[in-house]
Amino acid sequence: MGRRAGAVTVSLDIWHLDIPEFLECQTESGDQRRKVYDLFPQIVIVDAFMRRVVAKQDWTLVDPYEVKQVLGIELAELWGDRFEIAYGEIEQACDEGRLKLFNRINARELFKMAMRTQVETGLPYMSFKDTINRANPNQHEGYIPATNLCTESFSNVVPGQYSHTCNLVSLNLANIGDDLPMHCETSVRILDNTIDLTHAPFQASQNHNDRYRTIGVGAMGLADWLAIRRLGYHHKEAISELFETIGYHTTRYSMELAQ
């Protein structure tokens, strides 16, 4: 009771040597033996890549195993300034011939490839690693390598110890008016109680629930909410204010519970 069917998202960093093939794992064309239609692919993007997309510069794809063996760098664990320093060292090692397994590709063309795949298949998800980790309130305990399905929630994970677990609810905006703050508080309380009253399917998930108590309050029925107020999707300020209100009251009540 209260459980849904399982699903899997597999993430790959945008600097990984296999990223072009990964982007084609669900397309209709190509070798069918290399397709995986029953999982949800996700690419993890860093700010350095996006800057090169804007500048139309080349981007270096590397093999993380060779990088670890030759340079002692675990690139997947880095983000922000630490990533950019390490990535610069890796590109220099490629130029000097110390790394053999790498490929250079125009960053904008690679990004276009990802977007074309999204148009064709609806995937991959895109997770912006630096943005996510800058907003992480638990930076002192680790980092966030990727996100969950739909990129809607994320937190620190440690393989075998803490496995990200989603505790989610949606507000039905079609039936909510001036009582929005009350429903925000109720949603947070429901999710917090859910963590205490349910049992995760395996220990690493239970450990994560107990330690981080990650919750997510979303929304559905935006079209109804807009129609009731004779607004459209182009009324961005009203939509922004709505979700700012939801964010404020859920965060405020979560803080009150923590106290």
Question: pLDDT at position 38, please?
Answer: 86
Question: pLDDT at position 224, please?
Answer: 97
Count the helix, strand and coil residues of the chain and give each as a percent rounded to the nearest 5: 50, 15, 35
DSSP 8-state secondary structure symbol assigned to residue 97: T
User: Which one of 66, 89, 150, 185 is the catalytic residue?
Assistant: 150
Question: pLDDT at position 201, please?
Answer: 83
CA distance 22 to 46: 17
Residue 174 tokens read as 């079609």
Q: The pTM is what?
A: 0.88
The list of the chain residues with pLDDT below 70 reads: 1-4
Residue 238 tokens read as 């009203």
184 counts as catalytic: no
148 counts as catalytic: yes
User: Which one of 25, 94, 133, 148 is the catalytic residue?
Assistant: 148
Phi (first) and psi of residue 218, to 5 degrees: -110, -165
Question: pLDDT at position 3, please?
Answer: 64
- The SS3 call for residue 168 is strand
- The angle subtended at Cα 32 by Cα 30 and Cα 36, nearest 5°, is 110
User: Which one of 109, 152, 241, 244 is the catalytic residue?
Assistant: 152
| Own/partner long-range contacts of 253-257 (Cβ < 8 Å, ≥24 apart) | 253/184, 253/185, 253/188, 253/189, 254/188, 254/192, 254/215, 257/188, 257/189, 257/192
